[in-house]
A and B are shown apart, each in its own frame.
Chain A
Amino acid sequence: MRNPTFFAAAIGAAAAVFIVAALIGNDYLFFAGYTVVQYIVLAAAWNMLGGYCGYVNFGTAAFFALGAYTTVFFHKAYPLPIPVLLVIAAGVSGLVGLGTGYLTLRLRGAFFSIATLALAVVLQTFVVNWDYVGGSRGAYVIRPDSVDVFGFQLDYVRYLSLIMLLLAAVSVAISRAIERSKLGYGFATIRDDELAAEASGVPTLRLKLIATTLSGALMGMAGAPFPYYIGYVEPASTFGLTYAVNAIAMPLIGGTTVWFGPLIGSILLGTLTQIATVTISSAVNLLLVGLLLVGFVIVAPNGLVGLIREFLRAASPGRPDVRSIGLVAVASYGFIVGVLEVVFSLAALTAPDATGLMLAFAGLVLACLWIVSAYGMMTLQRWSPLMATIAFALSIVVGAIHIWADRTAFNISLWGAGGAVAIVSLWFLQRRYVQQLYRPKLTELEVAA
């Protein structure tokens, strides 16, 4: 797909998501969805420098907060419409990115990372000491009830969500365009071997500065509508590590080298953290993000996309066949359900009654089985089909207990659907052509070697 076509498609997708959400008409959906979409922008922005060039930016919060505080400043000085604020925030954050990059990017990569980490602390110090934007007390930003968009009266949170969706579409389209351009190849040479790139005449410093500025500007744009969304901004949470760790975790979990890696990562992790914040607590949810980040960089260094790509390369060289696509589907299902199971089991651990506790522990065990077997299936481990079979069989039992314990229509349909998927997956996993993949004959082993 050519870039303009993709750009139009991305905008169309964003509009479609907005229309579907508006038809559902739940206010909470918009409130939670905004955060997820905001992370799509942050993750895509981080990946332009981190994933494409290999330079780690720990200062996502700094750039994000710069955007947010630009809005706070103009809210007090001279209220402007949000699209204008987006442009100003992009300018401010982009310039700060350029400055930080210019001072540190000529040195080893580690110095840039440390500088970005310290940048958050310093900007926070400035904001704390700047009374005009609220200082350490924070600032209230009262949002209007509704806004007039081309003659439509639109609820303000929905308006902000629409803007964020469009911004997400733009940033994903930009990352894709970069990836396939001369600029993207330049970035990739920096990531792979900067010295060799420099020697071959790639203007590395200029490319790195472009990446830093672009990435910083997008992060600032993501932050600009934030004060209107949240209503109250204070330095400690706006500059908090949460943004930094999420913006790093999402691309690394999704996959850093392709544009859809951060997209997948941010949708998955963003949704997960929203669920975890509601069902457990925001502290546990942060712990979950940290553990997932560390787990993924150790076990699956190339993220979910890398895991699936390597699997497809090994399982069906050439074109993906039904078997490999089916296995990817089963493993993805297992992984997602496993992670959700962890969240809900942790939430249920706080339940006082014995049945709840037992179910929670069963859920945790099941979740471990699921995640490990999904990983095993993607890395062609011999034991994984058996383990997945056990997990699916157990899930039917657990689902039956759930339905028996609480016979609501919601529970029956949820666990019933889970059971149906489990039965289909069990049937699929027992097929001989699936089993063969995990027990290669000697000749196949030799071919692989």
Chain B
Amino acid sequence: MDFSADLLVNALVAGLLLGGFYAAVTVGISISFGILDIVNIAHPAFIIVGSYVAYIINSRFGIDPILVGVIALPAFYALGAATYQLYHVSFERRGQEGLRGLAFFFGLLFITEVVLILVFGVDYRYVSAPYIDKSYTFGLLQLPMRMVVPCVMSLLMLALLQLFLGRTFIGRAIMAVAQDQGALRLMAADPIKIKRIAFAISIATCALGGAFLIIIQPVEPSIGRDYIGRVFAICVLGGLGSLPGTLIGAILLGIVESFTATFYGPSWAPAVSFGLLLLTLAVRPAGLLGR
């Protein structure tokens, strides 16, 4: 194991950039699992769908993948609203979120994966954009733009969401749903409607998250499985329902994974998130910034 300053600095920076991107794929789970208490295991599947949407439009029309993500936001919002409606009618209203709701999302995850395999095969897909192959070097430090651009954009997205949740009426109502649905009803706001909006937003973030993912690495249908452990580890580590916590958790996981990959080999990286998740659950289940 070479332990040089060069490797160390680059692993740290790569971890920071990776963490920024992880925050973007996790923020949806922070909203649905953290705030709404909906265990949406299918979230990574929606992200992969986002990646494939970016891939299709990018390869057909040559539009920038992030721009595709922005354009696809309303469609994903509608998809999320529809999914929540189905979930609510079939499980929440019957009080069967526990067993059958989980099985439902697991089924969705599975169906999405199989459909993508049937349609696109198991080949790795990638997008093309002018910044993907560029890289800037400052002394020891290397900055690959395919990492920097998604990281910056995802920080922007996180900031916007934080503003939305903290400053607007609907955002505050979403935070309130997590605390007391009954009280929300007394304030003449429909908790179901608020939850639908929040869940739809959480799925909408998948459009952008998917675009970032396919910029960072080539994508194939079953890649989403690796992200299940990651997103939930970050979400729990940061503290359920806290966006700043999500960012901190994401950056921590990014750095730890990057160091593992640099010093032990990339094939060990998937195990890191699970280890971190188990450790958090055993030591501090409330997470770093948990309420």
Name A's B-contacting residues (CB within 8 A): 50, 54, 56, 58, 103-104, 107, 109-111, 113-115, 117-119, 121-122, 124-126, 128-129, 136, 241, 244-245, 248-249, 252, 256, 283-284, 286-287, 289-291, 293-294, 297-298, 301
Please indicate the chain A residues that have their CB under 8 angstroms from the CB of B275 in the complex.
122
Cβ of B59 within 8 Å of any chain A Cβ, yes or no, is: no
A297: contacting residue among B100, B117, B267, CB under 8 A: B100
Tell whether, in the assembled complex, residue A50 and residue B99 are in contact, meaning their CB atoms are under 8 Å apart: yes
A294: contacting residue among B108, B278, B281, CB under 8 A: B108
27 residue pairs bridging A and B, Cβ less than 8 Å apart:
A54-B98, A56-B99, A56-B102, A58-B41, A103-B282, A114-B39, A114-B229, A114-B232, A115-B277, A117-B41, A118-B229, A118-B232, A118-B274, A122-B275, A125-B268, A126-B271, A241-B113, A245-B106, A245-B107, A248-B103, A248-B106, A252-B100, A286-B114, A291-B107, A297-B90, A297-B100, A297-B104
B227 to chain A, nearest CB (A): 10
B236: contacting residue among A111, A287, A297, CB under 8 A: A111
Cβ of B110 within 8 Å of any chain A Cβ, yes or no, is: yes
Q: Residue among A124, A284, A286, A294 with the most chain B CB within 10 A? A: A294
Please indicate the chain B residues that have their CB under 8 angstroms from the CB of A128 in the complex.
267
A56 closest partner in B (C-beta)? B102
Q: Residue among B86, B274, B275 with the most chain A CB within 10 A? A: B274
Give the CA-CA distance A128 to B269 in the complex, in Å. Answer: 12
Interface residues of A: mostly helix, strand, loop or mixed?
A: helix
Count of A-B contacts judged by CB separation below 8 Å = 123
B147 to chain A, nearest CB (A): 23
- For the complex of A and B, list the 5 residue pairs with the smallest distance between their C-beta atoms, beginning with the closest: A118-B229, A294-B107, A290-B111, A118-B274, A125-B271
A99 to chain B, nearest CB (A): 9
8 A Cβ contacts from B250-272 to A: 265, 267-268, 270-271
Cβ of B141 within 8 Å of any chain A Cβ, yes or no, is: no
Cβ of B242 within 8 Å of any chain A Cβ, yes or no, is: no
Name B's A-contacting residues (CB within 8 A): 33, 39, 41, 86, 90-91, 94, 96, 98-100, 102-104, 106-108, 110-111, 113-115, 117-118, 222, 225-226, 228-229, 232-233, 236, 265, 267-268, 270-271, 273-275, 277-278, 281-282, 285
With contact pairs A252-B100, A298-B90 given, residues A122 and B271 touching in the complex (Cβ less than 8 Å): yes
Tell whether, in the assembled complex, residue A114 and residue B268 are in contact, meaning their CB atoms are under 8 Å apart: no
Give the CA-CA distance A126 to B269 in the complex, in Å. Answer: 11
Give the CA-CA distance A273 to B277 in the complex, in Å. Answer: 35
Tell whether, in the assembled complex, residue A287 and residue B114 are in contact, meaning their CB atoms are under 8 Å apart: yes
Tell whether, in the assembled complex, residue B104 and residue A294 are in contact, meaning their CB atoms are under 8 Å apart: yes
B223 to chain A, nearest CB (A): 12
Tell whether, in the assembled complex, residue A241 and residue B225 are in contact, meaning their CB atoms are under 8 Å apart: yes
A117: contacting residue among B100, B111, B228, CB under 8 A: B228
B275 closest partner in A (C-beta)? A122
Give the CA-CA distance A361 to B175 in the complex, in Å. Answer: 50
Tell whether, in the assembled complex, residue B115 and residue A104 are in contact, meaning their CB atoms are under 8 Å apart: no
With contact pairs A121-B270, A125-B270, A286-B114 given, residues A297 and B281 touching in the complex (Cβ less than 8 Å): no
A287: contacting residue among B115, B228, B277, B281, CB under 8 A: B115
Give the CA-CA distance A126 to B271 in the complex, in Å. Answer: 8
A298: contacting residue among B86, B98, B106, CB under 8 A: B86
Please indicate the chain B residues that have their CB under 8 angstroms from the CB of A125 in the complex.
267-268, 270-271
B233 to chain A, nearest CB (A): 7
Please indicate the chain A residues that have their CB under 8 angstroms from the CB of B277 in the complex.
114-115, 118
Please indicate the chain B residues that have their CB under 8 angstroms from the CB of A119 in the complex.
274
A254 to chain B, nearest CB (A): 13
Give the CA-CA distance A113 to B101 in the complex, in Å. Answer: 12
Tell whether, in the assembled complex, residue A118 and residue B118 are in contact, meaning their CB atoms are under 8 Å apart: no
Give the CA-CA distance A241 to B265 in the complex, in Å. Answer: 25
B110: contacting residue among A121, A126, A252, A286, CB under 8 A: A286
Tell whether, in the assembled complex, residue B96 and residue A290 are in contact, meaning their CB atoms are under 8 Å apart: no
Give the CA-CA distance A290 to B118 in the complex, in Å. Answer: 14
Give the CA-CA distance A287 to B113 in the complex, in Å. Answer: 9
Tell whether, in the assembled complex, residue A294 and residue B228 are in contact, meaning their CB atoms are under 8 Å apart: no
Tell whether, in the assembled complex, residue B99 and residue A110 are in contact, meaning their CB atoms are under 8 Å apart: no
Tell whether, in the assembled complex, residue A114 and residue B41 are in contact, meaning their CB atoms are under 8 Å apart: yes
B114: contacting residue among A56, A122, A283, A297, CB under 8 A: A283
B112 closest partner in A (C-beta)? A290
B110 closest partner in A (C-beta)? A290
Please indicate the chain A residues that have their CB under 8 angstroms from the CB of B232 in the complex.
114, 118
Tell whether, in the assembled complex, residue B110 and residue A301 are in contact, meaning their CB atoms are under 8 Å apart: no
What 13 new A-B contacts, CB under 8 Å, besides A113-B41, A287-B111?
A54-B98, A56-B106, A58-B41, A114-B232, A114-B277, A121-B229, A122-B274, A241-B225, A245-B106, A283-B117, A289-B110, A294-B108, A294-B111
Give the CA-CA distance A129 to B41 in the complex, in Å. Answer: 27
Please indicate the chain A residues that have their CB under 8 angstroms from the CB of B107 in the complex.
245, 249, 290-291, 293-294, 297
Tell whether, in the assembled complex, residue A121 and residue B118 are in contact, meaning their CB atoms are under 8 Å apart: no
With contact pairs A125-B268, A290-B107 given, residues A103 and B39 touching in the complex (Cβ less than 8 Å): no
A261 to chain B, nearest CB (A): 13
Give the CA-CA distance A286 to B107 in the complex, in Å. Answer: 10
Tell whether, in the assembled complex, residue B103 and residue A293 are in contact, meaning their CB atoms are under 8 Å apart: yes
With contact pairs A117-B229, A118-B228, A290-B114 given, residues A110 and B274 touching in the complex (Cβ less than 8 Å): no
